[in-house]
Structure 1
Amino acid sequence: MSELTSTTKGAHPTPPVAAQRPWTRTHHGEDVADPYEWLRDGEDPAVIAHLEAENAYAEATTAHLTPLRQLLFDEIKSRTLETDLTVPVASGDWWYYARTVEGSQYAIQCRAPLTDRTAVPELDPSQPLPGEEVLLDGNALAEGHEFFSLGGFEVSADHTRMAYAVDVTGDERFDVTVVDIATRQVLDEAVTGAGYGLAFSHDARHLFHVAVDDAWRPHEVWRHEVGTARGDDVLVHRESDERFWMGLGTSRDERWIVLGLGSKTTSEVHLIDAHDPTGPMRCVAPRRDGVEYDVEPAADHLLIVHNERQPEGDLAWAPLDATSHEQWQPLLERADGERFVGVDAFDDFAVLSLRADGLPALRILPREAKSTPFVASDYGAPVDVGFDDELHTVSLGPVADPDTDRIRIVHESWVSPRSVLDVVAATGERHVLKRQPVLGGVDLADYEQQRTWATAPDGTRVPVSLVMRRGTEPDGSHPGLLYGYGSYEMSFDPYFSIARLSLLDRGVVYAVAHVRGGGELGRHWYDDGKMLAKRNTFTDFVAAAEHLHETGWVARDRLAIEGGSAGGLLVGAATNLAPDRFAAVLAAVPFVDALTTILRPDLPLTVGEWEEWGNPLDDPEVYRYMRGYSPYENIAPLAYPAILATTSLHDTRVYFTEPAKWVARLREVTDHDDERPVLLRTEMSAGHGGRSGRYDAWEQTAWEWAWVLDRIGATDVVTSR
């Protein structure tokens, strides 16, 4: 057999055929032949040639969709305010903000002199603020590169220096540059290949950065003296436990450099005095297996969200110099149906982020006294920040200085554009600073949202969000797109999308299945969809699809499904379980060869993932369980729906290998034909998130959604009902 073929037969292109090469995986007494494992080597010219042939086949198969793709792109573009700016954030003597310019792919980071921190300047999207300084132009940095990502941007506490981290391949390894803001002199370019996380010392002489190991795990923190050689850097911490990752940042008052270490079930936080960067690092509380905690330094105490007493979290406080969990003192306990997520400290109040009844929420804790030493009674009765819409997302926006009297919040829903508001903490008075504009004559009253509930095979009620054009009736005729994720306790909360309007205007009912494995309904919702309960994620999703059919929201032959990354695992597994339920499957950077990956501790993410999926390398039960659901391993000779898998050559999180192997086996095993093609589309210069520039990202969205709309018979705009 040849390595690949791609020819045209009659009116239909012929898909590439990947060669089969002998390779066997042996674990727990089982030999598994995997003839497509050779597709793992991204340096092999034969692999690259295969991916390019797949791209050519995908383009040829979908050539008739070129006008629709252009139309979708034009709709997104015409409805977006291309020249715009973010709401400025006060820090020191400056307003910091970002702006975009029509025709430019990337944002421009700016600042302007601050005159009155209580009054945000009047915003004219077409004009910079008076006295603007351009700090960083992403378009200039991206020039000459097909991909560009800004992985970090930090300004020193004295506002004299900035550090930024750039990736131009998509592999999420960053080169760091330090610049003197006043002179624009490049002070340092010594740190290369770094991970996420940068933090200046208070005097800006030192820059802390994170190093990644060969498996892309952030495992070391180094202290770098600006202007010196990389070889002179000082190792601050090395994490030897391969389950643990690390995050690096600075406290709001810029007094502390915060190092957070965490596995999927356990965490540990260290503090470094930013005024004494060469001094010792202090552990707030040594790790204890199964105990997770987050630390927020306030001026004279620490606030701690933890799960020591119960899994949904509590809020505690501790002395500023705490070194043990025994110093934690209760501050606030959750109510039924709540999950405490995090806390932010300001001089005169704190803001608790939580989940309540399946949605994000915020709670202000006013500080009514300032005792010495601090006591819990300094905080008064909590005040919830509420909104009237049934489904929404509310989150704390950027606030740099701790001495403010107000918080910035961000609110949006499936049908309400993103709004930025300032809320006076003491009174609850609200000031709308900006609402995301939607151009092109769109009337947002034409759309509606609602929540419905599917019933899983074990009787569990699964929430499903629905978004559609107003007046849509559940008559069993509509096309639909069902999205799912369901891993890592990540919640897929309501958000507004200009691009999604193009689906809704074509009569599509857009649905999100909030399946177990996510965090929408609290920690138990996550625990019931991981490890040896992972199948619940997939059966919940199939139940949501069946619910859409049974309730008449979507026609049985017009439902497409979509998932990305771990959500790609979800849609792949669901397709194996119920291929007849779906008309089309869009799997983005899909984690579809899960067992092969989790059996290899040398690959990125694997060891840390064992607390999510289990360890099939050492545990035969976990091996058999994953073997029973991994999409690649369970493809059956049945009639599958049309499938489009997308990936990126430089994706570090989910190797392109997984969808490439999956597509090859789908073509080999399943009953498919020209009417139900299996496609693979690879971005040759991108990472896990796909293309990087905003116009390029719109083109990618238009390409994928044109395919979906074509498969479910929804290419035309619906003008009336």
Structure 2
Amino acid sequence: MKRLIGVAVLALAAMSCQENTSQPVPTVEYHETKKVDTVDTYFGVDVPDPYRWLEDDRSEETEAWVDAQNAVTNGFLDTIPFRDELKARLKSIWNYEKVTAPFKEGEYTYFRKNDGLQNQYVVYRYKTGDDPETAEVFLDPNTFKEDGTISLSGLSFSEDGSLAAYSISEGGSDWRKILIMDVASKEIIEDTLRDVKFSGISWYKNEGFYYSSYDKPEGSELSAKTDQHKLYYHKLGTDQDADPVVFGATPAEKHRYVGGGVSEDNKWLSISASVSTSGNKMFLKDLENPDRPLITVIDNVDSDTYMLDNDGDTLYLVTNLNAPNQRIVKTNASNPSPENWEDVIPETEHVLSPSTGGGYIFAEYSVDAISKVMQYNYDGSLVREVALPGIGSAGGFYSKKEEKEIYFNFTNYYTPGSIFTYQVDSGEVALYRKSAIDFNPDNYESKQVFYTSKDGTKVPMIITHKKGLELNGKNPTILYGYGGFNISLNPGFSIANAVWMEQGGVYAVPNLRGGGEYGKAWHDAGTQMQKQNVFDDFIAAAEYLIENNYTSSDYLAIRGGSNGGLLVGAVMTQRPELMKVALPAVGVLDMLRYHTFTAGAGWAYDYGTAEDSKEMFEYLLGYSPVHNVEQGVNYPATLVTTADHDDRVVPAHSFKFAAELQAKNGGANPTLIRIEKDAGHGAGTPVTKTIELYADLFGFTLYNMGYRVLPEDVSNKIKG
């Protein structure tokens, strides 16, 4: 099947671009995707699933389809004349030293560093008190595999710092391996633990650690359902097969997410058990009296509660029970149920995200998605407000109790992240390390606006761009969104977005319902039968940008990943005329079957499932992107992105959506899919692959908006 791809050739004077009418219009010959007669019946309604066969990620036929689609996509991307320039600029701007805040374990101080273009950060160490310049390599993930596709995903030290356990991800998969190292010799000391998933590593003294996993599923480990999470204890010197199940062994009591954390004094193991991504039960295990039964703190999943810290038997808990914006309470471990809780830091009008360090509690509040940090004593008395270096996002403020100098980082959409020291007793803030990136934030600005969604709800959005931007409706704009799972989109710098804005691009991020910016009520307003609110909020954000002449439909791209990929898929099928380009990444796109793959059933709090009720089925069918691609509609230029090792949101979602678009799109815009090999949902992706991805995304976006060359200032940077 051949279809001509008509792309405008008029360049914009505002972008210092040149008209290039000689650029040939590329012809795309799509790979024709086989259809099958699979039909599912929900509440008496037959729903065809013609691309069901693409769910088999182990079949040779699916592999051949992936290769064929990549060939088509690469053929189109190769016609973009400035893609190599974009890649060169991305590589150039990425190539600077990046260092994280140091932390102390045992005799050593550790930090992570990337020299510039290393695929993975390297862990360094030096003897505490020595000159940091004497630091040596402790752990280099770049040596795990030459192409950087095996990444370090977790690192945890025993009580005295003499042992380290670290987890690795192969090809971006959520399945992990855990290795145990003698810190002094840097030698691996026992067999590797395998088949670990959605897990931390929490040491008990120097004897062993707690971790979580599922039983290995039948069928494909990348797509088969994983439904019963368990917490294990690994005692050093024993085989993994002998690791006892601490929690989750009862099949009748299903928990999809189970985790455990040991208190700093090694007295308590706090256990969280959830059936979905929202709400948890909480239990305590007395590690000083291991034969004592588990202590129940909260026995239902109607709220979210976790242990922040303890002082012996006094527990400090963070909870949204009767406090949608969260509060900190204290209780005694002898009788820790909610009726015995006492407020330490009560709920306020702003969402609370606390941490502890240096013997204090640091309460970070989200004020319209902007950070405000308050320091408290453990009795709830206010010490001071932390003086942040600007308006943006602050994070960190964590250390062991005895540390009196702690670290935090600060960033916003145009300010590269910097690390600051904070003296907990005096409140003194000092710059520890400034980013060395080749980017001048003084040339850029952010503006927060509040726009009105379809039902009258006020929604905040931060718009970032070069200073002096002309509001002429012709600025290439990326509208990025998420809107789900109680996750907040706070201002943060992105190297890739810096390149986008260098070219005169606008970057806009609305804080949609479904997120966590305004607490539990804001989250719930974008879930299940209210999910359309999220899409309406995003559509209203696009309309605001157009009405205020930041951009127009010809120069607007929408982008989002995972739940944000669902957002893009739903909005582009509901309002295809609103944007020129759509970039759904690793999206949840088949809303009738998402819960049948890997840990997808745990997302039901946000989505509901097609099996819940006739009403829920009809609601999901009404917006499911795979099921709402209509024959003959002119859809925006679309580049679907996914990865073959994504076992969080399996690539079959993206495969089916791309196949539907290619079969039914009635316009001339390209509808392509880019499938990364040896990569997963995003975490741990090598720098080389990340640079290539953004060169393709930005190249595809600008090319379909009509650009033929890069702005002169970017080209000069590259040439210089």
Counterpart amino acid of residue 516 in structure 1: R
User: Shift of residue 460 of structure 1?
Assistant: 1.1
Is the 1:563–1:571 contact (alpha carbons within 8 Å) kept by the matching residues of 2?
yes
- Once residues 207 and 255 of structure 2 are traced to their aligned partners in structure 1, the CA distance between those partners, rounded to angstroms, is 32
Counterpart amino acid of residue 344 in structure 1: S
Deviations 1:550-592 (A, max 9, x none): 0111123111111111111111111111111110101111111
Question: What are the within-5 Å matches in structure 2 for residues 46-125 of structure 1?
Answer: 46-65=61-80, 68-102=82-116, 104-115=118-129
TM-score of the superposed pair, with normalisation by structure 1: 0.89
Aligned partner of residue 517 in structure 1, secondary structure: coil
- Once residues 357 and 682 of structure 1 are traced to their aligned partners in structure 2, the CA distance between those partners, rounded to angstroms, is 36
The residue aligned with 1:374 is none
TM-score of the superposed pair, with normalisation by structure 2: 0.89
- Once residues 200 and 482 of structure 1 are traced to their aligned partners in structure 2, the CA distance between those partners, rounded to angstroms, is 39
1:709 to 699, 702, 712: 702
The residue aligned with 2:395 is 395
- Whether 1:306 aligns to 2:352 is no
- Whether 1:696 aligns to 2:689 is yes
2:141 to 138, 142, 161: 138
The residue aligned with 2:717 is none
Of the structure 1 ranges 459-468 and 327-336, higher mean CA displacement relative to structure 2 is found in 327-336
Q: 1:229 to 1:388 in 2, by over 3 A?
A: closer
Q: 1:12 to 1:658 in 2, by over 3 A?
A: same
User: Shift of residue 320 of structure 1?
Assistant: 4.8
Counterpart amino acid of residue 211 in structure 2: H
The residue aligned with 2:599 is 605
Counterpart amino acid of residue 139 in structure 1: N
- Whether 1:45 aligns to 2:60 is yes
- Once residues 382 and 168 of structure 2 are traced to their aligned partners in structure 1, the CA distance between those partners, rounded to angstroms, is 44
Q: 1:690 to 1:191 in 2, by over 3 A?
A: closer
The residue aligned with 2:493 is 496
Q: Which runs of 5+ in 1 are unaligned?
A: 122-127, 368-377
User: Shift of residue 533 of structure 1?
Assistant: 0.4
Cα RMSD (Å): 2.6
User: Shift of residue 22 of structure 1?
Assistant: 0.9
- Once residues 116 and 358 of structure 2 are traced to their aligned partners in structure 1, the CA distance between those partners, rounded to angstroms, is 40
User: Shift of residue 37 of structure 1?
Assistant: 1.0
- Whether 1:567 aligns to 2:564 is yes
Q: 1:134 to 1:244 in 2, by over 3 A?
A: same
- Once residues 258 and 493 of structure 1 are traced to their aligned partners in structure 2, the CA distance between those partners, rounded to angstroms, is 29
2:549 to 530, 535, 552: 552
Is the 1:450–1:467 contact (alpha carbons within 8 Å) kept by the matching residues of 2?
yes
Is the 1:272–1:279 contact (alpha carbons within 8 Å) kept by the matching residues of 2?
no
The residue aligned with 1:380 is 381
- Once residues 677 and 301 of structure 2 are traced to their aligned partners in structure 1, the CA distance between those partners, rounded to angstroms, is 41
- Once residues 319 and 241 of structure 2 are traced to their aligned partners in structure 1, the CA distance between those partners, rounded to angstroms, is 38
User: Shift of residue 501 of structure 1?
Assistant: 1.8
Aligned partner of residue 558 in structure 2, secondary structure: strand
- Whether 1:24 aligns to 2:39 is yes
Q: 1:242 to 1:328 in 2, by over 3 A?
A: same
Aligned partner of residue 55 in structure 1, secondary structure: helix
Aligned partner of residue 700 in structure 2, secondary structure: helix
Is the 1:81–1:437 contact (alpha carbons within 8 Å) kept by the matching residues of 2?
no
- Once residues 185 and 477 of structure 1 are traced to their aligned partners in structure 2, the CA distance between those partners, rounded to angstroms, is 58
The residue aligned with 1:167 is 169
- Once residues 293 and 436 of structure 2 are traced to their aligned partners in structure 1, the CA distance between those partners, rounded to angstroms, is 46
The residue aligned with 2:234 is 224
- Once residues 530 and 717 of structure 1 are traced to their aligned partners in structure 2, the CA distance between those partners, rounded to angstroms, is 42
Is the 1:346–1:402 contact (alpha carbons within 8 Å) kept by the matching residues of 2?
yes
- Once residues 691 and 333 of structure 1 are traced to their aligned partners in structure 2, the CA distance between those partners, rounded to angstroms, is 38
Q: 1:700 to 1:616 in 2, by over 3 A?
A: same
- Once residues 205 and 521 of structure 2 are traced to their aligned partners in structure 1, the CA distance between those partners, rounded to angstroms, is 45
The residue aligned with 1:470 is 467
Aligned partner of residue 628 in structure 1, secondary structure: helix
- Once residues 79 and 281 of structure 1 are traced to their aligned partners in structure 2, the CA distance between those partners, rounded to angstroms, is 56
Of the structure 1 ranges 563-572 and 193-202, higher mean CA displacement relative to structure 2 is found in 193-202
Q: Which runs of 5+ in 2 are unaligned?
A: 6-23, 218-224, 715-720
Counterpart amino acid of residue 415 in structure 2: S
Is the 1:421–1:432 contact (alpha carbons within 8 Å) kept by the matching residues of 2?
yes
- Once residues 356 and 97 of structure 2 are traced to their aligned partners in structure 1, the CA distance between those partners, rounded to angstroms, is 34
The residue aligned with 2:427 is 428
Question: What are the within-5 Å matches in structure 2 for residues 171-190 of structure 1?
Answer: 171-190=173-192
- Once residues 367 and 296 of structure 2 are traced to their aligned partners in structure 1, the CA distance between those partners, rounded to angstroms, is 28
The residue aligned with 1:334 is 347
Q: 1:254 to 1:402 in 2, by over 3 A?
A: farther
User: Shift of residue 101 of structure 1?
Assistant: 3.2
Aligned partner of residue 381 in structure 2, secondary structure: coil
User: Shift of residue 134 of structure 1?
Assistant: 2.9
Is the 2:389–2:410 contact (alpha carbons within 8 Å) kept by the matching residues of 1?
no
The residue aligned with 1:682 is 675
Deviations 1:83-123 (A, max 9, x none): 4432322334321111223553222212211128xxxx6xx
The residue aligned with 2:220 is none
Is the 1:507–1:718 contact (alpha carbons within 8 Å) kept by the matching residues of 2?
no
Q: 1:48 to 1:218 in 2, by over 3 A?
A: same
Deviations 1:451-504 (A, max 9, x none): 122221111122111010001132222121111111101111100122212111
- Once residues 103 and 512 of structure 1 are traced to their aligned partners in structure 2, the CA distance between those partners, rounded to angstroms, is 28
The residue aligned with 1:149 is 151
Q: 1:388 to 1:162 in 2, by over 3 A?
A: closer
The residue aligned with 2:20 is none
User: Shift of residue 635 of structure 1?
Assistant: 1.2
The residue aligned with 1:633 is 627
Counterpart amino acid of residue 366 in structure 2: R
Of the structure 1 ranges 450-459 and 312-321, higher mean CA displacement relative to structure 2 is found in 312-321
- Once residues 306 and 260 of structure 1 are traced to their aligned partners in structure 2, the CA distance between those partners, rounded to angstroms, is 13
How many positions carry a matched residue from both structures?
Answer: 682
Deviations 1:169-195 (A, max 9, x none): 332111221122223332222421112
- Once residues 286 and 664 of structure 1 are traced to their aligned partners in structure 2, the CA distance between those partners, rounded to angstroms, is 46
Deviations 1:232-283 (A, max 9, x none): 221111165445412333444555443322334422333445667x555743
- Whether 1:537 aligns to 2:518 is no
Aligned partner of residue 635 in structure 2, secondary structure: coil
Aligned partner of residue 164 in structure 1, secondary structure: strand
Aligned partner of residue 233 in structure 2, secondary structure: strand
The residue aligned with 2:522 is 525
User: Shift of residue 524 of structure 1?
Assistant: 1.7
Is the 2:461–2:541 contact (alpha carbons within 8 Å) kept by the matching residues of 1?
yes
Counterpart amino acid of residue 669 in structure 1: K
The residue aligned with 2:16 is none
- Whether 1:350 aligns to 2:361 is yes
- Once residues 179 and 653 of structure 1 are traced to their aligned partners in structure 2, the CA distance between those partners, rounded to angstroms, is 29
Higher relative contact order (CA 8 A, sep 6+): 2
User: Shift of residue 10 of structure 1?
Assistant: 10
User: Shift of residue 133 of structure 1?
Assistant: 4.3
Aligned partner of residue 623 in structure 2, secondary structure: coil
The residue aligned with 1:373 is none
User: Shift of residue 217 of structure 1?
Assistant: 4.7
- Whether 1:259 aligns to 2:271 is yes
The residue aligned with 1:650 is 645
The residue aligned with 2:133 is 129
- Once residues 497 and 54 of structure 2 are traced to their aligned partners in structure 1, the CA distance between those partners, rounded to angstroms, is 34
Is the 2:157–2:203 contact (alpha carbons within 8 Å) kept by the matching residues of 1?
no
Q: 1:429 to 1:631 in 2, by over 3 A?
A: same
Aligned partner of residue 516 in structure 1, secondary structure: coil
1:619 to 599, 613, 631: 613
Is the 1:690–1:697 contact (alpha carbons within 8 Å) kept by the matching residues of 2?
no
User: Shift of residue 657 of structure 1?
Assistant: 0.9
The residue aligned with 2:9 is none
Of the structure 1 ranges 605-614 and 67-76, higher mean CA displacement relative to structure 2 is found in 67-76
